[in-house]
Structure 1
């Protein structure tokens, strides 16, 4: 094998690992609850997998062809729900794993949704805003009736945002008959507040990460004031989680993003770092109030709480033994692989699993969907109170199930989520 082929093989490994992880997690929980064999077969595969190739004219007049994905895992509880990400690692296996995680996440939260996920395989930093708009609109057109407000409802994910959702909503509504256009505004969630979006949707995921940490600390009689935490990924989720933790008195001591890592054991002011990153093209590198830190040493940083809020498969058997934190709060989807998790659990480290920890985003999306559907307008304080209530209900269910059955929190969360779907299949039966 050539060196180039070897490098490509290494780069693809984490993606394959994500699917392996979600299936192993699913099977562990299915064994625990003695899941009906027929329902295990159904939940082990996806319902639909859509791959679209579409041309887009670039600013220089040249045409580039992009590949987009939308995987719909299961809709037993309601329409497919899940984000669209723009990233070089997006492929069919990644979309399958992420769609499956969404099924468990929406079920655990008690929402009337199934799970879907997708995106485009690209690096958005290489394209202008005008090009990204054309790419997004063309992708939406290519997906056509594979998405819809009562069928499959996308949302923001890695490298997509409220502007992306606004483009999708506008394109989708433009393809509907005139009388139906305004009735399709909830085809996506995570839109700008002025375009049918929900007040507070931008912070919902990060707020949920913070809340689950707070609820855990309350269960353990731990005061968060003065506790040190590190954040991998300083985008929307990482920033808001850090913002709310800092307000609780906790101290941010290290951050890692796609450009590098920084550390200051005396504390990093969240808002100051955020403003610096905005002025530095999204990068935290060179932040004057912290020293540079080697990326390989990031997870070994002395802290109480670790928040992986970037991509999947970041905590593995190669670094799990180095982690100093006593709590891992998974802001990202699938940041800890199975081998890494076994090491952490053996060391007595608690993991708040992704399908619980970062579910504030999909709960917020549900609120936005309802708001659009019913023609309502919700205020920020009302949204935050509803998020708090919903997340606390989910956390308590998982925590109590975990304690009662002597299970780690991930397995407990999966058991609850899968049992809800199993009940739906048993009550309704299998067609025909």
Structure 2
């Protein structure tokens, strides 16, 4: 099952710093800019009390790390998970900086969340926890300063609570201009049509575009998905629509397998009343978690937590493509094994960027008072991802390097250019 051991937290930070330093060396990054990008701008920790349904008070710890805002406001998700801590938030915030830069968006990078297992709390408790967290963050978030979004175990409802709380704590005259303090809201509360599927769609599209460069398509391609939340489901949905065959799914509770294919729609219906758990799905057999990455398939989609593909299991992977739906799912040691074995890794900062591109469109929609239909939104996301794919592919071919290195070069070079043009205050 998913690996959530404490030991992985430090390696997550190590992974992102190794990637950064490797790229900085390759492009001979300006040493002063290297110092700036190697650290975070702000690291915020808040402890706040919340009254539970039984009348008792619990103290929660929340985090928000703002890595860099050279290109625009900080942007990044809030996750509710018991692995959330400062180290994880710092790593994820840095990845967001690279992701928004690579996507060509006017954003920087941030990340955060609450150290909590949301399954242990009622909906009313989660609402109070979310609202109190928002209040504790105060002016550390804002529509032109730091714009949170959904992440692991948070969703459109979470964002609606944050937006309402934020707007309720500012002056009346400003409320109508601050709806875009978060993205990923329900459509009826200023959200974007298609934002729910944007990340998974990006994963699917990145795989499709890669296959096209080889003269192939998704028909009859066997794929496995780790994590069946929003990203895992929508990626499976779009790939299956084009003839791909989902043969295995893994989450924290079970590992399912069916060589004839698992119907993602049926599995999603099974998960809905079970708080997302795939366990007990009758149309597939449950297998050992250790056998998941060893399955014979064409594509692996890690779409859960970080540091899942390591030296302990990377050598088992038989697929030719690993498409990173999650942030940081492959550590440095695992990556070296995959590359040595000829596996193409579509890196997280590109592969799952459909979500932040969708977030940008929602932010613009709220900011400008516009409304876009689903078809328009998906066309805009597809256009942006396709353009970015070809830029990375060109870098891969010209430099004869792997996809992650190419993506990092493009992302960091854009930020370096911004610093060189603007200078450093004072």
TM-score range with shorter-chain normalisation? over 0.9
Q: Kindly indicate whether the alpha-carbon contact (under 8 Å) linking 2:322 and 2:345 is maintained by their aligned counterparts in 1.
A: yes
What is the rounded CA distance, in whole Å, between the counterparts of 2:280 and 2:297 in structure 1? 22
Gaps in structure 2 of 5+ consecutive residues: none
Matched, 1:342 2:336: yes
Instruction: Name stretches of at least 5 consecutive residues in structure 1 with no aligned partner.
Output: 1-9
Q: Which whole-Å deviations, capped at 9, do the CAs of 1:253-272 have from their partners, x for residues lacking one?
A: 00001111010011111111
1:262 equivalent in alignment to 2:256: yes
User: Aligned partners of 1:159 and 1:127: how far apart in 2?
Assistant: 12
| Matched position secondary structure for 1:12 | coil
Q: How does 1:182-201 map to 2 (within 5 A)?
A: 182-201=176-195
Pairing 1:421–2:415 present? yes
* Residue number among 152, 156, 164 corresponding to 2:150 in the alignment: 156
Deviations 1:243-288 (A, max 9, x none): 0000010000000011110100111111111111124442212211
Whether 1:377 aligns to 2:371 is yes
* Residue 97 (structure 1) shift: 0.1
Which of these residues, 16, 21, 29, is aligned with residue 27 of structure 1?
Answer: 21
User: In the alignment, what sits opposite 2:352?
Assistant: 358
**Aligned equivalent of 2:34:** 40
- Displacement after TM superposition at 1:16 (Å): 0.5
State TM-score, norm by structure 1: 0.97
Distance of 1:144 and 1:277 partners within structure 2: 35
After superposition, residues 74-93 of structure 1 pair within 5 angstroms as 74-93=68-87
For residue 328 of structure 2, give the secondary structure of its aligned residue in structure 1.
coil
Contact 2:392 2:406 in 1 (8 A): yes
Instruction: Specify the alignment match of 1:6 in structure 2.
Output: none
Task: Between 277-286 and 173-182, report the one with greater CA deviation.
Answer: 277-286
Counterpart CA distance in 2 for 1:281 and 1:164 is 15
Number of the residue aligned with 1:114: 108
Distance 1:414 1:357 in 2: 13
Counterpart of 2:391 in structure 1 is 397
**Cα deviation, residue 13, structure 1:** 1.1
Structure 2 equivalent of residue 224 of structure 1? 218
Instruction: Indicate whether 1:310 and 2:304 are aligned.
Output: yes
CA distance in 2, matches of 1:358, 1:110: 14
Counterpart of 1:288 in structure 2 is 282
Map of 1:5 onto structure 2: none
Alignment partner, residue 325 of structure 2: 331
Shift of 1:12: 1.9
Match of 1:239 in 2: 233
Residue 307 of structure 1 aligns to a residue whose secondary structure is strand
> Once the two structures are superposed, what CA deviation does each residue of 1:331-377 show, in whole Å capped at 9, x if it has no partner?
00000000000000000000000000000000000000000000000
Partners of 1:274 and 1:143 lie apart in 2 by 34
2:379 aligned with 1:411, yes or no?
no
2:7 match: secondary structure:
helix
* Residues matched between the structures, number: 423
User: Could you tell me which residue of structure 2 aligns to residue 130 of structure 1?
Assistant: 124
User: Bigger shift: 157-166 or 214-223?
Assistant: 214-223
Match of 1:172 in 2: 166
User: 1:147: Cα distance to partner?
Assistant: 0.3
Alignment counterpart, residue 202 of structure 1, candidates 192, 196, 206: 196
CA RMSD of aligned residues (A): 0.8
User: 2 CA distance for matches of 1:203 and 1:116?
Assistant: 22
Deviates more, 1:184-193 or 1:393-402: 393-402
Q: Distance in 2 between matches of 1:185 and 1:277?
A: 31
Larger CA deviation: 134-143 vs 218-227: 218-227
Name the CA distance, whole Å, in 2 between partners of 1:271 and 1:354: 25
Deviation at 1:293, TM superposition (A): 1.1
1:281-339 deviation digits (Å, cap 9, x = unpaired): 42212211111111111111111000000000000000000011110000000000000
Give the Å deviation of 1:11: 2.8
Report what 2:247 is aligned to.
253
